Amino acid sequence: MKLKNVGIIGLGTYVPEKVMTNFDFEKIIDTSDEWIRTRTGIEERRFASEDQATSDLAAEAAKKALKNAGVSVEEIDMIIVATATPDYNLQNTACIVQELIGAVNAGAVDVSAACSGFVYALTMAKGLVASGINKKILVIGAEVLSRCVDMQDRNTCVLFGDGAAAAIVTEVEEGYGMVSQFLGAEADLKGSLRTPAGGTRKPLSQEVLDERSNFIQMKGQDVFKFAVKALPKATLEALEQGGFKAEDIDMVFPHQANSRIIESASKRLNIPMEKFYLNLNKYGNTSSASIGLALGEALEKGLVKKGDLIALTGFGAGLTYASMIIRWSY
């Protein structure tokens, strides 16, 4: 069986209107704009409104992706939502998106790989289209992290933001599209980055609520040490699989967690910072949405053109890390 050649034919992004600046955080916790900016590069982030859940953000991004790709919603035969912050513990977010956008002919599944989720989901979509199982897949990375962080914990609450990005994945012409990829994981049993309670290990209880362990907890330095190795490693592994070298890359779209992590990766990979697209100053860490939000913005600015070789690289809770090399097809 000859595998089909697969790529992205349209992207859409959405961020909620509410802007939460570092100065807004100064009013509610013991922090400063200076600390947040110098340690992370983040200046502001977007927070969902009270009536918005992850599926609402995902649906907005999806509608834009469909429009940009010139694809009708009925053509979509699979929806894959990467998220760490689903609407519900039981019932996948993809099914709710299906209803919100009217994708009546689509299967629907969620992928849980935190900040690497978008790349994991794109890779799964590639496999499904390449093998002929599906024809047009809507891949979405979407998060409402503002509702899952502890607004009393300055170690985490200033870092994260809400947003969504969607891509239409289908067959593209030979010589273009998703060339190679790497999917990795290193189980983190110490809990460097996890929500300790609210799952089956420690169900919700009064004790959980009192100790606030139903919110995301992170040992920042442990994750930082992992991230500065994972970002270059995943990118290099994916490049190698495609027969490329670091200098062949036109642009890298890294997970937007911390500008210091990206600067370190730039040095390790010997790829200049100008080739890394950063927008974490405006949106903070939006987990599975961040890579798509960056790529969507770069496309709107005309910074990615047909024939460009780009890398999408994520790293995050799990711990997971993943990278995909794409020869851009439009």
Residue 105 annotated to the active site:
no
Q: Of residues 18, 39, 268, 275, which one binds ligand UT7 by CB under 6 A?
A: 39
| CA angle, 191 then 283 then 91, to 5° | 55
Q: Report how many residues bind ligand UT7 under the rule CB under 6 A.
A: 20
Residue 255 annotated to the active site:
yes
| 200 sits near ligand UT7 (criterion: CB under 6 A) | no
| 40 sits near ligand UT7 (criterion: CB under 6 A) | yes
Query: Closer to ligand UT7 at the Cβ: 145 or 197?
Result: 145
Pairwise CA distance, residues 2 & 294, whole Å:
33
From the list 2-10, 194-202, 255-263, 320-328, the region that binds ligand UT7 by CB under 6 A is: 255-263
Q: Of residues 154, 202, 212, 268, which one binds ligand UT7 by CB under 6 A?
A: 154
CB of residue 239 vs ligand UT7: minimum separation in angstroms? 21
CA atoms within 13 A on the CB side of 260: 11
Say which of 5, 68, 115, 258 is annotated catalytic. 115
For residue 25, the surrounding DSSP H or E stretch is helix 22-26
Bridge partners, residue 44, by sequence: 21
Stretch 280-299: interaction string toward ligand UT7, x if CB under 6 A: -----x-x------------
Binders in 169-198 for ligand UT7, by CB under 6 A:
none
Query: Which pairs count as long-range contacts for 47-50, CB under 8 Å and 24+ apart, including other chains?
Result: 47/16, 47/18, 47/20, 47/146, 47/161, 47/162, 48/16, 48/18, 48/144, 48/146, 48/147, 48/162, 49/16, 49/17, 49/18
Query: Closer to ligand UT7 at the Cβ: 19 or 151?
Result: 151
| 330 sits near ligand UT7 (criterion: CB under 6 A) | no
Query: Closer to ligand UT7 at the Cβ: 160 or 182?
Result: 160
Q: Of residues 101, 261, 265, 299, which one binds ligand UT7 by CB under 6 A?
A: 261
Please give the structure tokens belonging to residue 196.
């300790």
* Measured CA distances, 206 to 211, 213, 289 (Å): 9, 11, 32
Say which of 5, 92, 148, 255 is annotated catalytic. 255
| 228 sits near ligand UT7 (criterion: CB under 6 A) | no
| 257 sits near ligand UT7 (criterion: CB under 6 A) | yes
The two beta strands, 137-144 and 162-171, are: antiparallel
Q: Is the peptide bond before 209 cis (omega within 30 degrees of 0)?
A: no
Binders in 303-322 for ligand UT7, by CB under 6 A:
316
Query: Closer to ligand UT7 at the Cβ: 5 or 256?
Result: 256
Query: Which pairs count as long-range contacts for 108-111, CB under 8 Å and 24+ apart, including other chains?
Result: 108/78, 108/79, 108/81, 109/78, 109/79, 109/80, 109/81, 110/80, 110/81, 110/82, 110/83, 110/86, 111/80, 111/81, 111/82, 111/83
Burial of 246 (0-12, 13-18, 19+ CB in 10 A): middle
CB of residue 41 vs ligand UT7: minimum separation in angstroms? 9
From the list 98-106, 140-148, 165-173, 221-229, the region that binds ligand UT7 by CB under 6 A is: 221-229
Residue 285 annotated to the active site:
yes
For tokens 């429009």, the residue is 67
For residue 58, the surrounding DSSP H or E stretch is helix 54-69
Q: Of residues 171, 220, 263, 330, which one binds ligand UT7 by CB under 6 A?
A: 220
| 115 sits near ligand UT7 (criterion: CB under 6 A) | yes
Active site residues: 115, 255, 285
Q: Which residues bind ligand UT7 (CB under 6 A)?
A: 31, 35-36, 39-40, 115, 154-155, 158, 220-221, 223-224, 227, 257-258, 261, 285, 287, 316
